[in-house]
Amino acid sequence: QKEVEQDPGPLSVPEGAIVSLNCTYSNSAFQYFMWYRQYSRKGPELLMYTYSSGNKEDGRFTAQVDKSSKYISLFIRDSQPSDSATYLCAMIRSSASKIIFGSGTRLSIRP
């Protein structure tokens, strides 16, 4: 079993819709939870991070972490075609160096 599970999609939604992306994990030692966006043939770009449980909002993006359920989410409001990319959830233990990534969800926003 992988430490981090993520639905690979693809997920296709119309422009303006609310998008929900999710991951589950098994290692309760993870403390930092991140979302990366990766465009085709590019490196991952850090979108947001959350420390421990809770919510964090940044513009159209909201990240949620529920450590009791080992479940994290990313919501994208008012989705735009430019949001079309692969979204990777990721997590790391405190004082660790290696990030553990999910397999990524491919998202397509239809104009």
Partner 1 sequence: DTGVSQDPRHKITKRGQNVTFRCDPISEHNRLYWYRQTLGQGPEFLTYFQNEAQLEKSRLLSDRFSAERPKGSFSTLEIQRTEQGDSAMYLCASSSPATAAYEQYFGPGTRLTVT
Among 63, 101, 107, 109, which residue interacts with partner 1 (rule: CB under 8 A)?
Answer: 101
Among 43, 58, 59, 82, which residue interacts with partner 1 (rule: CB under 8 A)?
Answer: 43
Positions 53 through 92 that interact with partner 1 (CB under 8 A) = 88, 90, 92
Per rule CB under 8 A, is residue 37 in the interface with partner 1? Answer: no
CB atoms under 10 Å from CB of 101, counted, come to: 20
Give the distance, in angstroms, between the CA of residue 21 and the centroid of all CA atoms in the same chain.
6
Phi, psi dihedrals of residue 67, rounded to the nearest 5°: -70, -30
Quote the CA–CA distance of 7 and 107 in Å, as a whole number.
11
Residues that bind partner 1 in the complex, under the rule CB under 8 A: 4, 6, 8, 32, 34, 36, 41-46, 49, 88, 90, 92, 96-104
